């Protein structure tokens, strides 16, 4: 039944079984691709950057050299699509906060910056002018009625601006009823923005709370990588020192101390409190491209069906809000493991498969996705305009971060595709890998775009590490031999999926 795998299986036996198979995929070749893609020349492959386009050209050339045919839109290798690639800063941004006796003028990138900026439904010209908006204080901006704590109880914020502290009360108190020393879900930026917005607030100002007297936000980073989330109202981080005179006048630090003591909210109107806010931040729309190559199946009766092999090639460029170390924004985040490793594997799998095409009765579609780091956008685009219809797509195999194997690989998705377990285990033995069920979690990579459309999809991953989304994710930390084993596993699994008569079932738990 699996005669096509005889040569590789035999090799594994001769070599002594698990841990000692000789991968048909060369670690040195993989590492060569990773060194190029993760070099400083490519500037971290940020979406919308020249480095990303250089990577796209490289991948297309490698697909061609591997023996694939172009699977792009116009007979070329590319599937272009548009995405939001951050913000451009126009003239006239300003924020003024007034109290009864004083007013403070803040400047963008110095004493305030937007954590959230783009209003829904406005794409290119998101100008906002809020004049003389009443300003109210809503404690920590937390609404957690299940824990009997709600900063918004009895507070009217409709049509107003809301000033809150960062973090949460009793943050470091282990016995606190607000989840002890662990952060509350209600403390995240999306939750705080929602709490304000859903009650009609038109802007939210966040000041570092008194237990964080050293304001950890770096206001100048916004000028280097101008970007912000979208929570439908402006959410502005405001420098504590800049607002000190008003915090004192309203005794907000004193109120924070009281809240910390008894968890009774002290929300209120602020005497003379008003803001003027002008926002001239424009969404940068950029064209990026998936790179698509096809290996037509060897069986004319079955090659209308395909297995998709995917990996994203974009990364987070110079950092910014997608970095694990936003304070190091401006440094190149090379993304060797995330995900030059997956792309290198994809290229070498393509070459090995094309050299042995008879093993693949169904077709293979190789897709290098752009836009993953900004929300799985490339795979969503592919799924909406696939090269082989999704109805004929037997399965999708996704490689994201496979460069830190050390003898093992985590495979995500088997719970929904139980019929693939035997094949995964068998190919894991061929590759000499300890196969574990697991992965980064739901919706963390491009396999989700296929699962969402009920295409069976598996995710291959060798684990998070301290260099994840940091400038230190470099090629010299890559386990190339391990990555070659993961690539071997995926190659062998693709051969089984391209061959087996039945198609893997998708179970909805």
Q: Say if CB 225 and CB 329 are below 8 A apart.
A: yes
For 288-325, the DSSP string reads EEEEEEEE--S-TTTTTSEEEEEEE--B-TT-GGGSS-
Cβ neighbours for 12, distance < 8 A, ≥ 6 positions apart: 20, 21, 429, 430, 432
CA 245, CA 107: separation in Å to the nearest integer?
Answer: 16
Using the structure block, give the residue that is written with the tokens 């001769």: 14
Q: Which is nearer to Zn ion, 436 or 444 (CB)?
A: 444
Cα–Cα distance measured from residue 248 to residue 69, given in angstroms and rounded to the nearest whole number: 68
Kindly tell me which of 209 and 372 has the beta carbon lying closer to Zn ion.
Answer: 372
Which residue reads 């968890």 in tokens? 263
In 3D space, the residue among 168, 118, 116, 120 whose CA is nearest the CA of residue 147 turns out to be 168
Q: With contact defined as beta carbons under 8 Å apart, do 303 and 128 qualify?
A: no
Question: Whose Cβ is closer to Zn ion: residue 168's or residue 400's?
Answer: 400
Give the number of residues in contact with Zn ion, rule: CB under 5 A.
3
Residue 440 beta carbon to Zn ion: minimum distance, rounded to whole angstroms: 8
CB of 401 to Zn ion, least distance (A): 6
Cα 137 to Cα 135: distance, rounded to the nearest angstrom: 7
- In the bound state with Zn ion, the residue whose beta carbon lies nearer, of 160 and 315, is 315
One character per residue 393-422, x = contact with Zn ion (rule: CB under 5 A): -------x----------------------
Cis status, amide bond into 339, omega within 30 of 0: yes
Residue 77 CB, nearest approach to Zn ion (Å): 21
Closest CA to 167 of 190, 147, 186: 186
Report, in angstroms and rounded to the nearest whole number, the Rg of the chain calculated over CA atoms.
26
Report the residue number, 464 or 506, with the smaller CB distance to Zn ion.
Answer: 464
Per 3-state DSSP, the chain is made up of helix, strand and coil in percentages (nearest 5) of: 30, 25, 45
Interaction residues for Zn ion, span 344-403 (CB under 5 A): 400
- The minimum distance between CB 373 and Zn ion, in angstroms, equals 5
x/- mask, Zn ion, residues 227-266, rule CB under 5 A, reads ----------------------------------------
Stretch that binds Zn ion, among 137-145, 204-212, 330-338, 420-428 (CB under 5 A): 330-338
Q: Considering the complex, state which of residue 329 and residue 339 has its C-beta at the smaller distance from Zn ion.
A: 339
User: CB-wise, 176 or 398, nearer to Zn ion?
Assistant: 398
Helix residue ranges per DSSP H, 263-417: 341-354, 377-384
CA 218/CA 239 separation, integer angstroms? 9
Q: Would you count residue 339 as binding Zn ion (CB under 5 A)?
A: yes
- Shorter beta-carbon distance to Zn ion: residue 290 or 339: 339
**Which residues in the 281-320 window bind Zn ion by CB under 5 A?**
none
What number of other Cβ atoms are within 10 A of residue 476's Cβ? 10
In contact, 279 and 166? CB cutoff 8 Å: no
Q: How near is the Cβ of 309 to Zn ion at its closest, in Å?
A: 15
Write down the least CB distance from residue 499 to Zn ion, Å: 29
Q: Between 338 and 474, whose beta carbon lies closer to Zn ion?
A: 338
352 versus 401: smaller Cβ distance to Zn ion:
401
Return the number of the residue (338 or 492) whose C-beta is nearest Zn ion: 338
Rounded distance between C-alpha atoms, residue 12 and residue 193, angstroms: 55
Residue 249 CA to residue 472 CA, distance in Å, equals: 45
What is the phi/psi pair of residue 254, to 5°?
A: -65, -40
Q: 213: number of CA atoms within 13 Å, CB side?
A: 1
Q: How far is the CB of 474 from Zn ion (least distance, A)?
A: 15
Residue 335 · residue 316 · CB < 8 Å? yes
Nearest residue (CB) to Zn ion, 33 versus 167? 33
Q: Closest separation between CB of residue 222 and Zn ion, Å?
A: 21
Q: How far is the CB of 468 from Zn ion (least distance, A)?
A: 7
Cα 399–Cα 483–Cα 6 angle in degrees, nearest 5: 90
What is the smallest separation between the CB atom of 413 and Zn ion, expressed in angstroms? 16
Whose tokens are 């698509």? That residue is: 292
The answer to whether residue 341 forms part of the interface with Zn ion (CB under 5 A) is: no
Stretches 2-10, 332-340, 377-385, 409-417: which one binds Zn ion (CB under 5 A)?
332-340
| In the complex, minimum distance from the CB of residue 153 to Zn ion, in angstroms, rounded to a whole number | 39
To Zn ion, the closest distance from the beta carbon of 470 in angstroms equals 11
3-state SS assignment for residue 477: helix
Length of the chain: 509
Cβ-based nearer residue to Zn ion, 111 or 445: 445
CB of 315 to Zn ion, least distance (A): 6
Among 337, 338, 447, 479, binds Zn ion (CB under 5 A): 338
Residue 194 and residue 141 in contact, taking contact as beta carbons nearer than 8 Å: no
| Site residues (vs Zn ion, CB under 5 A) | 338-339, 400
């Amino acid at each position: 039944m699996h005669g096509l795998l005889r040569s590789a299986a035999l090799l594994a036996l001769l070599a002594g079984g698990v841990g000692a198979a000789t991968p048909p995929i060369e670690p040195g070749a993989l590492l060569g691709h990773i060194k190029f893609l993760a070099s400083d020349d490519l500037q971290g492959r940020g979406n919308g950057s020249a480095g990303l386009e250089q990577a796209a050209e490289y991948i297309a050339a490698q697909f061609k050299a591997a023996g694939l045919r172009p699977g792009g839109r116009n007979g070329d290798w590319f599937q272009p699509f548009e995405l939001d690639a951050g913000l451009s800063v126009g003239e006239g941004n300003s924020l003024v906060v007034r109290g009864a006796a004083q007013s403070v003028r803040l400047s963008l990138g110095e004493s305030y910056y937007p954590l959230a900026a783009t209003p829904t439904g406005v794409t290119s010209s998101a100008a906002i002018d809020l004049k003389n908006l009443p300003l109210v204080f809503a404690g920590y901006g937390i609404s957690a009625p299940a824990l009997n704590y709600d900063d918004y109880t009895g507070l009217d914020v409709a049509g107003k601006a809301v000033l809150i502290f960062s973090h949460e009360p009793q943050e470091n108190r282990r016995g606190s009823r607000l989840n002890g020393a662990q952060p509350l879900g209600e403390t995240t930026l999306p939750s705080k923005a929602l709490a304000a917005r859903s009650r009609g607030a038109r802007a939210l100002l966040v000041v570092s709370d008194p237990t964080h007297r050293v304001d950890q936000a770096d206001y100048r980073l916004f000028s280097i990588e101008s970007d912000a989330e979208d929570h439908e109202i402006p959410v502005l981080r405001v420098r504590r020192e800049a607002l000190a005179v008003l915090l004192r006048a309203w005794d907000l630090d004193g109120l924070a101390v009281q809240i910390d003591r008894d968890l009774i909210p002290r929300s209120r109107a602020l005497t003379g409190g008003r803001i003027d806010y002008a926002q001239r931040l424009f969404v940068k729309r950029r064209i990026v491209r998936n790179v698509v190559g096809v290996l037509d199946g060897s069986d004319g009766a079955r090659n209308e069906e395909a297995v998709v092999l995917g990996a994203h090639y974009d990364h987070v460029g110079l950092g910014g809000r997608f970095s694990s170390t936003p304070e190091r924004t401006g440094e190149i985040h090379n993304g060797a493991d995330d995900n030059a490793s997956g792309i290198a594997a994809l290229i070498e799998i393509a070459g090995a498969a094309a050299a042995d095409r008879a093993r693949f009765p169904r077709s293979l579609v190789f897709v290098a996705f752009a836009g993953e780091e900004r929300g799985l956008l490339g795979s969503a685009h592919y799924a909406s305009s696939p090269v082989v219809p999704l109805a004929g797509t037997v399965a999708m195999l996704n490689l994201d971060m496979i460069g830190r194997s050390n003898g093992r690989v985590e495979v995500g998705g088997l719970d929904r595709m139980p019929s693939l377990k035997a094949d995964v285990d068998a190919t894991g033995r061929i590759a000499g890998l300890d196969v574990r069920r697991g992965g980064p979690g739901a919706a963390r990579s491009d396999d989700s775009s296929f699962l969402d459309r009920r295409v069976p999809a598996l995710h291959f991953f060798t684990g998070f590490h301290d260099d994840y989304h940091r400038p230190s994710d470099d090629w010299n930390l890559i386990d190339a031999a391990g990555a070659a084993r993961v690539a071997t596993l995926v190659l062998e699994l693709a051969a089984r999926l391209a061959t087996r008569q039945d198609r893997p079932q998708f179970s909805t738990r």
